Structure 1
Amino acid sequence: MADTSMPLLKVEHLTKEFPTGSGFLGGKLSKKVVSAVNDVSFEIRAGETFGLVGESGCGKSTTGRAIMHLDPPTSGKVYFEGKDVSKMNKAQLKDMRREMQFIFQDPYASLNPRMTIGEIISEPMVIHGIGTPEERMDRVRELLDVVGLNPEHINRYPHEFSGGQRQRVGIARSFILRPKLIICDEPVSALDVSIQAQVLNLLKDLQKEYGTAYLFIAHDLSVVQHISDRVAVMYLGKMVELSDWKSLYAEPNHPYTQSLLSAVPIPDPDVQKSRKRIILAGDPPSPIDPPSGCRFHTRCPIAQAKCSESAPEFREVGEGHYCACHFAKPFPIKESHIDL
């Protein structure tokens, strides 16, 4: 993993809000907003894989789209190679996106059914005016071979491929410009488990070959474990824990992280039998009206009065290990409060 003094991507206090209509607040008519991402900060170094995990609806994908300025953030800063993305004009954004690409979650919806595989993969080169038509097709054939597809299938259409093959097409498209960073938005969640492993191994191999950094978004901690250098956990739009993956899995300091990890199956049946699942009470609150103080306190087994009164600081609890919990410590929950 490459390490430089300046991070490839730096996200500072990123917030993204969406309007949901109007309502009365304190006797006055005001616009209602849902805060999908709230005050999120992190860095990604060149060649690193940064995992971002959490339940569906916690703001992971919105974070990725805000970084790419597909949905510009409401506030906060995004720096790519030291340059403020929010101050870029259209031409500068276009140049930036040459170096920052996206792999979408759904391999069925992210490919144009009216375009051939060759046209889909070469489209970024066309948009950026790179190469002649012959050079583009040569590059496409080269990449098809790299991602494990037959270069002879260059003139086929997406409906002629399986889900795993389509995701390989999406991966080839994201690598066609040889970007420095790829935002992987749940790239394996729509695939069978056996195919997931193939795609994850492919992403790791491509990273070794091209030195690409990944922002790997997922809801499955077992998937993130196999590919990430560092992992951040999100809950209801807020980042609650961040660490290198070994520390996070060995000593989770946040009750939510510990609950998520308890659901990850272990291949050893003897160890799996002895484990205790930590089941959280209730459902995640609505992001339109999040709880006061710590957003997790309504479901947290160790919550106290302080948790509903003030939001915890996102502080360092160990070397490179950050946690947003008033009572952060390794394995804060001793046993599940709900019986299976």
Structure 2
Amino acid sequence: MDAKTRKVAIIQHRLLHYRLGLFEQLRSACATLNIELALIHGDATPTESVRQDTGELAWATKVRNRHWRVGGRDLLWQPISGVVQQADLVVLMQESRILSNYPWLFGRGPRQTRVAYWGHGRNFQSNSPTGLLERWKRRTLTSVDWWFAYTDITAAIVRDANFPQERITVLNNAIDNRSFAADLASVSDAEIAALRASIDASENAVVGLFCGSLYADKRLHMMLESCRRVVNRHPDFRLVVLGDGPSRRDLQPAMGKPWFHWAGTQRGKEKAAWFKAANLLINPGAVGLHILDSFAAEIPLLTTKDAKHGPEISYLEDGISGIVTEGTVEAFASAIQQLIDQPERRASLGRQARTKAQSYTLDAMVESFVSGMDACLRMPRLH
């Protein structure tokens, strides 16, 4: 091994399937700068396993997480110290529930190892944003040598905590748009027609699509009630739900209704086919990375302004690349109805969304990530 090779270890508490492309590209890009990238991950907790959202990489190191359920919250310990002792930089997930982070945050790791956070800056889904857990998270915001911020929103949170601007890298969190775009392009008109026929959608019917994990912050009850009202005015409207999760039972009131179809977890071309068959992406609750699916598929996303969105909501421009309504059933249902009644506006929003897809790409995220690693490794430790 070249003596000048620098070693970076990224720690993930579980390896999410939509991150596989990122880590593959990141590993290759690191090699061009003489950085050896290690990826260490554990497995999903019993609470998370229902989402079926994990993947595997042959070159990654898997450790056995220890986890406990305390007060309705998962606490984790990852035995990582033995596999990252020689790292020049350790990149941790910014999650206060990961107990194994704290020795690194409080200076108990190797003295030569820089420590970075990769995260949101705060818990955007917290029910108590001023509570003890969020105050603790703010307390540890500046306990690292570098920050890999999801978006500009995260960077602003970190700067407000008096963390040095020059030690923040904005990643503009993204997924592999190229893979999804290729899947979209591979879907034939016949396949689209067959899917729409399978849900009894007429040729001119508008199909709404929800895609994502099913949990409380997605506001599934609001979505179903809004769509029920839309069906009263537009009987040919259809709603398709892709995904699974602990709140699947919230879909039960709509099961068996002619306007509703639950397709479960879909990936690859199967997922892309549903996006091609749909006209609107509907999510009144928390919006995260799936906003990029909207952009790539050229269908507008509708959501609400007071939902517990991830920092990726900054990518959406209300009235330009999507729609953001007040957080009521009436407002959300009305927005859906308006786009059903205004196909030209719907198409315009879709075109604007498509232009956004070029701004938030995996290539750009990888470039920023590697550039930030290189900069961090060239600077002295902050703590």
TM-score by length of 2: 0.27
Q: In proportion to residue count, which structure has more helix?
A: 2
Q: In proportion to residue count, which structure has more strand?
A: 1
Q: Which has the higher contact order (CA 8 A, sep 6+)?
A: 1
